[in-house]
Amino acid sequence: MVRIVYVDLQPLTTPIIESNISFSIYKIPLSHPLNIKTNSLLSSPTISMEHPQQELSIVMVVMMPSPGMGHLIPMLEFANSLIRYHHHIIVKFIIPTDGPPSKAQTTVLTNLPNGISHIFLPPVTLSDVPNDAKIETIMSLTVLRSLPSLRREMRVESHRMGALVVDLFGVDAFDVAKELDVSRYVFFPSTAMALSFFLHLPQLDKETNCGYRELVEPVKIPGCIPVHGKELLDPVQDKSNEAYKWILHHANRYREADGIIENSFLELEPDCIKELQKYEPGKPPVYPVGPLVKMDGNVSEPGLECLRWLDEQPHGSVLFVCFGSGGTLSSVETNELALGLEMSDQRFLWVVKSPNDKIANASYFSADSKADPFDFLPKGFVERTKGKGYLVPGWAPQTQVLAHGSIGGFLSHCGWNSTLESVVNGVPLIAWPLFAEQKMNAVMLIQDIKVALRLNNNNNNGLVEREEIASVVKCLMEGEDGKKLRYRMKDLKDLAAKALSENGSSTKNISQLALKWTNKTSAAN
């Protein structure tokens, strides 16, 4: 086989070669001086970057996401970004499960590009886990009990492995990486602020005797705005719960990583990222590589129907309402939201899910709405809002919706994937956080980055009432505050594009990681 080394920073174009010889084409980013040598036509080239006459060979990066689409999608986008410019790197996803893959998982994994493959590990048993166990406990146990299967898969892998990349609940897999002398990295799919909190948590735990929500003074997270204890991520609110113990366990192990890959970008969270990147003994280097957002994909019905409806609406006139793949409202909250949207007299596109009166993340492991689409909405609501409102049961093509010109605002749960999709499309937000770290995200978006409006709860019952919803929606879509947020989002949209450009900060960090992983495997040969 002839190997062609294509040295360029531009997208790879296939040369026209009339030959029966099999060709393997690799492209190397020209971020370091290269010295390419070959002894004959059929010899493998060697390249000098940091090491003279380093052989160019395939490097495999193993990625293991925790269960849940919110963890899989950003890691897939990181893999896409990695192989886009570094064609000598291939990525293998090894996915732990506790049952058959979901329809959402199989859909997103169906058409992976060349260079990315995946396998599902055998399902683990969680029958001994209490029914009321929190998501963080379930994900952590799924990963832990999948380690024997992960070990077997990695041991039989024939390619040289440059790194094992796990997400925030997967650090117990570091034990397998150590056994095999493979570099260990954490992929952190949320904010730099949340990452800073995770790294600070072991110290905070030692210094705090009470529950965090009982603290009088806000918690000072390094490099970030202060946050009240009740606004910290959900699983740390009850120190006696297994979920908190798991979060603390993972936070302690983060410092074993050779690096942490962060799905944000310097221009979005400058103070926090600069603090994270300061040298500190025992703290891994942090590589901001965001915003990693899935921007393409085929759209099927009813997705096409809602996009056609958007085509008919005036520019910037529609509020998109969606709580992500996992978020659900209670029956009362759903009722208030419906009537608030109606009272606002604004156009809206609402992804409607069956309410759940027990937990806000009821649909985390499934994107499907279980009941009849709209029978739980207020009587007459569907008929009264026809024309101004468009209802989609369960799911909509969110990236395409947010990119549509008629969208002027996004009422969101403040999940980080959704927030980044808003940023890259310049769409301002109304914050309605539900679970996980979303309350922290909302604080940052409202007070620090200033791209979101707050919905205030009624102090007596904790409910966001219809009058408040109507008022804030009108403010975002028609008011001066909404205009200010829109201008700010436009600036961030441009900065996000710059970070992902050829010489952008995030692209450079991805290239730096690729070089480290390539050199790691070469040094081991």
Catalytic amino acids? 71, 167
CA pair distance 244, 237, nearest whole angstrom: 8
CA distance 329 to 395: 15
* Tokens encoding 269: 């969270």
| CA pair distance 269, 273, nearest whole angstrom | 6
Tokens of 256: 């074993």
HSE (side-chain half, CA atoms, 13 Å) at 280: 13
Burial of 21 (0-12, 13-18, 19+ CB in 10 A): exposed
DSSP for residue 21: S
Question: In sequence order, what are the residues at sequence separation of 6 or more whose Cβ sits closer than 8 angstroms to the Cβ of residue 461?
Answer: none
Query: Residue 217: what residue type?
Result: E
In our burial notation (b when 16+ CB lie closer than 10 A, e otherwise), range 197-235 reads bbbbbeebbeeeeeebeeeeeebebbbbbebebebbbbb
Contact 391, 361 (CB under 8 A): no
**Would you call the peptide bond into 302 cis, given omega within 30 degrees of 0 as the criterion?**
yes
Cβ proximity of 58 and 525 under 8 Å:
no
Strand order across the 160-167 sheet: 116-120, 89-95, 59-64, 160-167, 184-188, 259-262, 286-288
Give me the residues paired with residue 454 across strands. Answer: 431
Read off the DSSP letter of residue 257. Answer: S
Length of the chain: 525
Q: Which residues contact 81 (CB under 8 A, 6 or more apart)?
A: 289, 292, 507, 510
CB atoms within 10 A of CB 238: 14
- Alpha-carbon gap, residue 465 to 337, rounded angstroms: 8
For residues 94 and 117, what is the distance between their CA atoms, to the nearest angstrom? Answer: 9
Cβ atoms of 289 and 269 closer than 8 Å = no
Which residues, 6+ apart, have CB-to-CB distance to 390 below 8 Å? 306, 309, 348, 349, 350
